[in-house]
Chain A
Amino acid sequence: MPGLIIDDIPVEVPAGTTVIEAARSVGIWIPHFCYHPALGSVGACRLCAVKLLDGPVKGIQMSCMLPVQEGMVVSTTDAEAQAMRRNVIEWLMINHPHDCPVCDEGGECTLQDYTIAGGHGLRRYDGKKRTYHNQELGPHIQHEMNRCIHCYRCVRFYQEQAGGTDFGVMGSGARVYFGRFKEGALDSPFSGNLVDVCPTGVFTDKTSRFRARYWDYDMAPSLCPGCSLGCNITPVARYRELLKIKARRNDGVNGWFICDRGRFGGREVNDPARPRAPRVDGVDVPWDQALDTFVLRLGELLATHGAGSLALVGSPRLPLEGQLLLARLAEIVSPGNVCWFTTAGEARGVLAALETLPPEGVASLADVRGAGCVVILGVDLLAEAPMMALAVRQAWRNGAKVYVMGISEWTFGSFLGISVTPVSSLDEVPPAERVKPVLIGNSRDLPSARVDEKLWGGARVALLQSGPNAVGAALLSVDHDGASLEELLASGRIKGVVAVEADIPGSWLAGIPFVAALDWRQTETVAVAQLLLPTTSWLEMDGTFINYEGRAQRFLKVMNPGIPLRGLDPTLHPPRIHRSVPPGGDLRPAWRLLAHLVERLGGRSPESPFTGRWERLRDLHPEGEGIMVYTHGSDSSEGGG
């Protein structure tokens, strides 16, 4: 552990750490463009200059390229280092097109920040600017090459991190160009991260082009509901409309990046056809009337058909708060008839997945990145959980062997730019290769994920689940003996269904006299329900998801519910009448509705949905790595399994 002094602060860091990282570890921020914690250093931008006053190296050095050595004395505030950084900024601005007012990066631009910080306000250079032609890079990414400062972050991400081959660097000298050989959409399923890594406006999000500025954004730490990995995101909204999604760092889960599906998906929240008013028999009614009707019809149903005739259905996409309140409502109106899964196969898979995990436990995405051997058991990771595929690529880059079973190794390998070995069974993986092994499967087809403890000792398993909160649903199913709606319906005594954000096929509900839906999506279930209580989407509420490994993470409310300004009836904006909620904004989270119904039906609703052993989730902070609520083996009772 070499020790050095940075700005009079003694620092001790592991050998091989660079000075910029050592400074970061004690909270000293050295300006930089090309260095990125996930992408490493290249020394391309020359901005991170520091002066070494004493020790083995002396003089102005690039702090990102300099490994720490014993006895270094570093100054980031030395006049010479500051002058160097100021001049670097000035020369990076020589070819800049000065188009900040029409650039989407304006306001969140690192180049803008450092230009201000460097005090460069007046252009002294009177030569001509270099220009480039742009490329059409598909529907998601906008290219404006004139803004480029040649930090190489894009190509390092695209080729090294994501394994893409269709985007690279061309030209030489002052003509260095970042783009594709031919115009066309970027192939990589992680191309959206170019927007995040680019320190200026070369790559901007085309889907939110010219929509808003950073200082007007509605933002909050949130989670991606796209699959069961629980990647951390920062959604950006404005005027009640989701504009774009940015990656949020979580080293235990997604690291620094997210996939394109998560980034450019999730736009159902902007759907003008979303349910926004309570509906009884196809007619919009006020909230009081809808809730009265719900209680009345529920009472009638229970009086006519008995207590066992009502099924309460949650889903793996319902946040944990709603799932917990659903269990409480079931205790009051229909004990034993509560389920969190629709089909029997899904329920069996997720429940069995919890039970069959090896003692060493579940592989987090960080474990996959650090694995020595990865076996993929018949899951098309690029389609089901792309960030898992990116983690597999990082493992491969670190020297891990990758084996695939039951999928096309060519498609998988070529999309990620890695070499994979197809095997037909787990036994074919040479025992010598089984170092820090990780098996990746899907809970849907569990038998193939069953491993022989003796041969695969120490293996960690990652089993993808059916939804962002499937493990929460499974844990509650174990607690409350919940099975699946399919099994409940098969018993033939179900005469009423309350579906809370559940996707039930319309045909299943054909013969059911009472169907109530609580949902924010216009689903098949919502279409056939006689009674609809609209809820808020995950962007419009605080909530909790438990990801595939049993990690509980909190997401916060990003925006207020309501019809987005874009698409709103022009007579409603600007508002000529004063109202307390925006049009279509009178929505409540599902768990609040359920808590209200619990009270109406004679129960006592708790102040917080988290009681008993869930209590420790009450103050879960959205930043940080989350809390493991499920751990296999002896401490499972403590963990809440």
Chain B
Amino acid sequence: MSVFKDMKAISQGMWITWKHLLRKPVTISYPEVKRTPPPRYRARIVLTRDPEGGERCVACYLCSAACPVDCISLQAAERDDGRRYAAWFRINFSRCIFCGLCAEACPTMAIQMTPDYELCTRDIMSLLYEKEDLLVDGCGNDPDYNFYRHSGIGLVNPRGGNQDENPPVDVRGLAP
């Protein structure tokens, strides 16, 4: 009775086809309609600032070391007050794979991923983002975090002035 078997198979297939024809589509007509990605979506990378408005990036090179496609390059330098910063910081978004390893490696929460995924352009050279393009006014995640308030080298707070520090010792003191 293979004829009945075939008819059953065809009608089952047609049933599924018709069912889906009448369904509401899962796709949207981008760019007229835009989806809001979840807040932890990994797209355009930014450099954030600490709560006092200073650059969080200390140019430690961990992001460029973590980057599996070598799209981050930078040069560290020293400000007059001894603060370490990036003299230039460059992300080549034509190479970036948005894996988020740089943000994961960043010890100062400076480099963060944003949900802004609309980076397409016709000019590939414009995908080379310089520090001015990357730096934003804001803290992003961890809005209260300032690296220098936790690392004890006395740059934002005076030496020995962090919450978990004793004041500098008097090396010439005679007390036990």
Residues of A within 8 A of B (CB): 97-102, 106-107, 128-134, 144, 146, 170-175, 177, 179, 209-213, 215-216, 239, 565-566, 574, 576
CB closest residue in chain A, given B76: A210
B168 at the interface (CB under 8 A from A): yes
Task: Output the residue of A131, A146, A216 with the most chain B CB within 10 A.
Answer: A131
Q: A565-B75, A576-B125 are in contact. Are A177 and B153 (CB under 8 A)?
A: no
B176 at the interface (CB under 8 A from A): yes
- Residue pairs across A and B with Cβ atoms less than 8 A apart, 20 shown, are A98-B151, A100-B107, A101-B58, A101-B107, A102-B60, A102-B84, A128-B166, A129-B164, A133-B168, A134-B159, A146-B153, A175-B169, A209-B78, A210-B76, A210-B78, A210-B84, A213-B61, A215-B65, A216-B64, A574-B90
Q: A99-B151, A102-B60, A215-B65 are in contact. Are A173 and B176 (CB under 8 A)?
A: yes
* Interchain CB contact under 8 A, A170 and B153: no
B172 at the interface (CB under 8 A from A): yes
CB closest residue in chain A, given B153: A99
Can you list the 7 inter-chain pairs with the closest CB atoms, starting with the nearest?
A97-B152, A99-B151, A101-B60, A131-B160, A171-B171, A177-B171, A213-B61
A residues less than 8 Å from B43 (CB atoms): none
* Interchain CB contact under 8 A, B169 and A101: no
Q: Give the distance to chain A from B48, nearest Cβ to Cβ, in Å.
A: 15
* Interchain CB contact under 8 A, B125 and A98: no
**Which of B64, B167, B172 meets A131, CB within 8 Å?**
B167
**Which of B61, B147, B152, B171 meets A175, CB within 8 Å?**
B171
A residues less than 8 Å from B167 (CB atoms): 131
B77 at the interface (CB under 8 A from A): yes
* Interchain CB contact under 8 A, B61 and A212: yes
Task: Output the residue of B125, B150, B153, B172 with the most chain A CB within 10 A.
Answer: B153
B residues less than 8 Å from A99 (CB atoms): 151-153
Task: Output the residue of A98, A100, A134, A177 with the most chain B CB within 10 A.
Answer: A98
B residues less than 8 Å from A175 (CB atoms): 169-171, 173
B residues less than 8 Å from A101 (CB atoms): 58, 60, 62, 84, 107-108, 147, 151
Cα distance, A221 to B58, chains bound together (Å): 31
Cα distance, A524 to B171, chains bound together (Å): 53
* Interchain CB contact under 8 A, B76 and A144: no
Cα distance, A173 to B174, chains bound together (Å): 11
B residues less than 8 Å from A107 (CB atoms): 61
* Interchain CB contact under 8 A, B153 and A102: yes
**Which of B62, B77, B108, B153 meets A210, CB within 8 Å?**
B77
B residues less than 8 Å from A132 (CB atoms): 159, 168-169, 171
* Interchain CB contact under 8 A, A144 and B61: no
Cα distance, A179 to B169, chains bound together (Å): 14
B residues less than 8 Å from A134 (CB atoms): 159
B165 at the interface (CB under 8 A from A): yes
B47 at the interface (CB under 8 A from A): no
- Report how many residues on chain B are interfacial, defined by Cβ distance under 8 Å: 37
* Interchain CB contact under 8 A, A144 and B125: no
Cα distance, A575 to B88, chains bound together (Å): 14
* Interchain CB contact under 8 A, A128 and B151: no
Q: Give the distance to chain A from B154, nearest Cβ to Cβ, in Å.
A: 8
Q: A101-B108, A210-B76 are in contact. Are A106 and B151 (CB under 8 A)?
A: no
B128 at the interface (CB under 8 A from A): yes
Cα distance, A98 to B171, chains bound together (Å): 22
Cα distance, A213 to B162, chains bound together (Å): 27
Q: Give the distance to chain B from A64, nearest Cβ to Cβ, in Å.
A: 27
Q: Give the distance to chain B from A202, nearest Cβ to Cβ, in Å.
A: 12
B residues less than 8 Å from A211 (CB atoms): 75-76
B46 at the interface (CB under 8 A from A): no
B residues less than 8 Å from A144 (CB atoms): 153
Q: Give the distance to chain B from A103, nearest Cβ to Cβ, in Å.
A: 8
B102 at the interface (CB under 8 A from A): no
Q: Give the distance to chain B from A429, nearest Cβ to Cβ, in Å.
A: 45
B residues less than 8 Å from A179 (CB atoms): 171
Cα distance, A101 to B65, chains bound together (Å): 13
Q: Give the distance to chain B from A270, nearest Cβ to Cβ, in Å.
A: 15
B59 at the interface (CB under 8 A from A): yes
Task: Output the residue of A100, A101, A129, A133 with the most chain B CB within 10 A.
Answer: A101
Cα distance, A210 to B85, chains bound together (Å): 9
* Interchain CB contact under 8 A, A130 and B169: yes
Cα distance, A622 to B77, chains bound together (Å): 33
Cα distance, A173 to B77, chains bound together (Å): 37
* Interchain CB contact under 8 A, A213 and B65: yes
B residues less than 8 Å from A177 (CB atoms): 169, 171
Q: Give the distance to chain B from A178, nearest Cβ to Cβ, in Å.
A: 10
B residues less than 8 Å from A212 (CB atoms): 61, 76
CB closest residue in chain A, given B57: A101
Inter-chain pairs besides A101-B108, A133-B168, 7 sampled, C-beta below 8 Å: A97-B151, A101-B84, A144-B153, A213-B60, A213-B61, A213-B65, A574-B128
* Interchain CB contact under 8 A, B152 and A131: yes
Q: Give the distance to chain B from A467, nearest Cβ to Cβ, in Å.
A: 35
B residues less than 8 Å from A213 (CB atoms): 60-61, 65
* Interchain CB contact under 8 A, B171 and A131: no
Q: Give the distance to chain B from A641, nearest Cβ to Cβ, in Å.
A: 49
Interface bits B113-127 vs A (CB < 8 Å: 1, else 0): 000000000000100
A residues less than 8 Å from B154 (CB atoms): 131
In chain B, residues 49-66, which have Cβ atoms closer than 8 Å to a Cβ of chain A? 58-62, 64-65
**Which of A128, A173, A239 meets B165, CB within 8 Å?**
A128
Task: Output the residue of B59, B125, B150, B171 with the most chain A CB within 10 A.
Answer: B171
Q: Give the distance to chain A from B79, nearest Cβ to Cβ, in Å.
A: 10
Cα distance, A107 to B61, chains bound together (Å): 10
Q: A98-B152, A102-B60, A213-B61 are in contact. Are A130 and B84 (CB under 8 A)?
A: no
A residues less than 8 Å from B151 (CB atoms): 97-99, 101-102
CB closest residue in chain A, given B155: A102
A residues less than 8 Å from B61 (CB atoms): 107, 212-213, 215-216
A residues less than 8 Å from B75 (CB atoms): 211, 239, 565-566
Cα distance, A133 to B161, chains bound together (Å): 12
Q: Give the distance to chain A from B35, nearest Cβ to Cβ, in Å.
A: 34
Cα distance, A215 to B61, chains bound together (Å): 9
Q: Give the distance to chain A from B66, nearest Cβ to Cβ, in Å.
A: 11
CB closest residue in chain A, given B60: A101
B residues less than 8 Å from A239 (CB atoms): 75
B residues less than 8 Å from A129 (CB atoms): 152, 162, 164-166
Q: Give the distance to chain A from B111, nearest Cβ to Cβ, in Å.
A: 12
**Which of A102, A133, A216 meets B58, CB within 8 Å?**
A102
CB closest residue in chain A, given B65: A215
CB closest residue in chain B, given A171: B171
* Interchain CB contact under 8 A, B166 and A131: yes
A residues less than 8 Å from B166 (CB atoms): 128-131
* Interchain CB contact under 8 A, B172 and A170: yes
* Interchain CB contact under 8 A, B147 and A133: no
Q: Give the distance to chain A from B75, nearest Cβ to Cβ, in Å.
A: 7
* Interchain CB contact under 8 A, A146 and B152: yes
B residues less than 8 Å from A216 (CB atoms): 61, 64-65
Q: Give the distance to chain A from B99, nearest Cβ to Cβ, in Å.
A: 19
* Interchain CB contact under 8 A, B169 and A210: no
Q: Give the distance to chain A from B36, nearest Cβ to Cβ, in Å.
A: 34
A residues less than 8 Å from B128 (CB atoms): 574
Cα distance, A49 to B61, chains bound together (Å): 34
**Which of A97, A128, A130 meets B153, CB within 8 Å?**
A97
* Interchain CB contact under 8 A, B125 and A128: no
